[in-house]
A and B are shown apart, each in its own frame.
Chain A
């Protein structure tokens, strides 16, 4: 007992820095991430109150509503749009990331800064700019009419097409950055070895470059697909309330419509999709390697 006392005291003493350093972040995450996430799952299985809000009687009604034709269509449409956005971001972003990664480091870091600067402009103002460009009497329509491609102005604003343009331009940098850092890490000697062993540039790309940069590509998929699936600001700004995806439906349940359990159920759906993608990711890469910055 007496022999143990100093040892115990020492152990207590050593805990102080751990509590001071890891404590606040742990408490914050549990209070404001874990508990709200668990609570939203709980709410999604409750009933809708008569005047909005929640009645605490368990039901799976909200999930049944999601299977309704109207909501189900919105979900499918949102998945489709998020998929197209992701595909476009990968196809546009990979060659661009490759271009930057093959520059000397000091040039590459300048090019990356050049990529970040536009994002210091408020994202809504950038979306608004696309709308000004594509207005019915805006510059794009004037140009198309001037070169005789169209006689009457084309309606671009508040269409799914313009929303898609907004989504792609908004999320492209988040696809470029992780792909850039994985291409940059790729060792040149491997490519040279492949060429020396007689592989054509195409084979080298398909058999060496692409597989080795796959973690970056998957990071890019996660960082574009999930936010594209959940966004409501892009659709709000460019769709003008006429183009509705999952994000808008969730938001509306907490505004005018006030059906919290339904909004919660849709949120849980997004959580499940996210978890599935992350699970796939962790099958072949560590979560710490997910390039989020």
Chain B
């Protein structure tokens, strides 16, 4: 009797687990179906992507004949902006994250609140507000204004990431470093920066992807200048996206996934090496002790 009850319970648990797995697969497929469709249509033998017309790999070939200048120019423009935005945002954001965590000053609470504004307020509102200011004071729209726009939403993410990474340990370490005779600059480069390196890396990654993928700011603040890749895609939508854009996007995704796997591999390798070194050091210490 007892046995059948526990069997029943086990069966029920197994059923719930299977249900959970099925549900997770369904949700993941919602995210992966569009990516798969996007990739499949990079092999579409049609001039514009509306319907499937047949299989071809010619878009990948044409991509590397650099025939489509608009596409490559937009990509280059997007990359330059994303790299500059990443550098500026990481420098300002990392310093700001440290500063806002460490110091108290008049108006700090206000700045803390302002940090959250670009993260929470709809992007269109911030974009329009900046557009009005730039137009009113007569700033020429172009790469500079797009860059300012991107940094304005990347910096807050960097600040939040860094603030989350700083703990009490950092303060202690910094004090120890100064006590041992290092000056502020040395302490900053040798102690503070290495201790928040993971935060710096993830805010750089985040800034780059946010900037590279941005449409709203870039569209509003571009003026008559060259358009970024996402803005080009937006403008193509009505007339149909050309499959070479699918090919390029597919390559970017593959590139990012491979990059992630390689960097994960490196991290694992380094951790293993560190663990080995620590183990060796410990055994050396215990060997030395036993000799004493």
Q: Which residues of A contact B (CB under 8 A)?
A: 17-18, 20-26, 28-30, 32-37, 39-40, 43, 54, 92, 95-96, 99-100, 111, 113-115, 117-130, 132-133, 135, 137-139, 169, 172-173, 222, 226-227, 229-233, 236-237, 240-241, 247, 250-251, 254, 260, 263-264, 267, 270-271, 274, 278, 287-288, 290, 292-293
8 Å CB contact of A32 from B148, B234, B238: B148
CA distance A111 to B105 in the complex (A): 42
- Which residue on chain A has the smallest CB distance to residue B256? A120
CA distance A17 to B174 in the complex (A): 13
Q: How far is the CB of B81 from chain A (nearest CB, A)?
A: 15
Q: How far is the CB of A123 from chain B (nearest CB, A)?
A: 6
Task: Scan residues 251-290 of chain B and give those whose CB is less than 8 A from a CB of chain A.
Answer: 252-253, 256-257, 260
Is B37 an interface residue, CB under 8 A from the partner? yes
CA distance A288 to B206 in the complex (A): 19
- Which residue on chain B has the smallest CB distance to residue A237? B237
Instruction: Assess the B99–A137 pair: CB atoms within 8 A.
Output: no
Shortest Cβ-Cβ A-B pairs, 10 listed: A230-B122, A25-B96, A21-B99, A22-B99, A36-B129, A129-B34, A129-B37, A126-B34, A29-B114, A40-B129
Instruction: Assess the A32–B130 pair: CB atoms within 8 A.
Output: yes
Q: How far is the CB of B256 from chain A (nearest CB, A)?
A: 5
Is B41 an interface residue, CB under 8 A from the partner? yes
With contacts A120-B257, A230-B123 taken as known, whether A28 is within 8 angstroms of B234 at the C-beta atoms is: no
Chain B residues closer than 8 Å to A222, beta-carbon distance: 120
| A contacts with B: majority SS | helix
| B contacts with A: majority SS | helix
B interface, size bucket:
35 or more
- Which residue on chain A has the smallest CB distance to residue B117? A33
- Which residue on chain A has the smallest CB distance to residue B151? A28
Is B83 an interface residue, CB under 8 A from the partner? no
Is B2 an interface residue, CB under 8 A from the partner? no
Instruction: Assess the B38–A121 pair: CB atoms within 8 A.
Output: yes
- Which residue on chain B has the smallest CB distance to residue A169? B30
8 Å CB contact of B124 from A115, A130, A230, A240: A230
Q: Residue-by-residue, is B168-204 near A (CB-CB < 8 Å gives 1, otherwise 0)?
A: 0000000000000000100000000000000000000
8 Å CB contact of A122 from B98, B152, B213, B260: B213
With contacts A28-B92, A32-B148, A124-B234 taken as known, whether A274 is within 8 angstroms of B120 at the C-beta atoms is: yes
Stretch from B54-62, B64-72, B156-164 that touches the partner? B156-164
Q: Residue-by-residue, is B128-160 near A (CB-CB < 8 Å gives 1, otherwise 0)?
A: 111111001000000000001001100101011
Task: Scan residues 84-120 of chain B and give those whose CB is less than 8 A from a CB of chain A.
Answer: 91-93, 95-96, 98-100, 102-103, 105, 107-108, 111, 113-120
Instruction: Assess the B237–A124 pair: CB atoms within 8 A.
Output: yes
Instruction: Assess the A25–B230 pair: CB atoms within 8 A.
Output: no
Most buried by B among A20, A100, A240: A20
Instruction: Assess the B216–A25 pair: CB atoms within 8 A.
Output: no
Chain B residues closer than 8 Å to A23, beta-carbon distance: 99
A-B contact pairs, 20 of them (CB 8 A): A21-B98, A24-B92, A25-B111, A25-B155, A28-B92, A33-B114, A99-B20, A120-B257, A123-B215, A124-B230, A125-B245, A128-B233, A130-B37, A135-B50, A230-B125, A240-B237, A251-B124, A271-B121, A271-B125, A288-B163
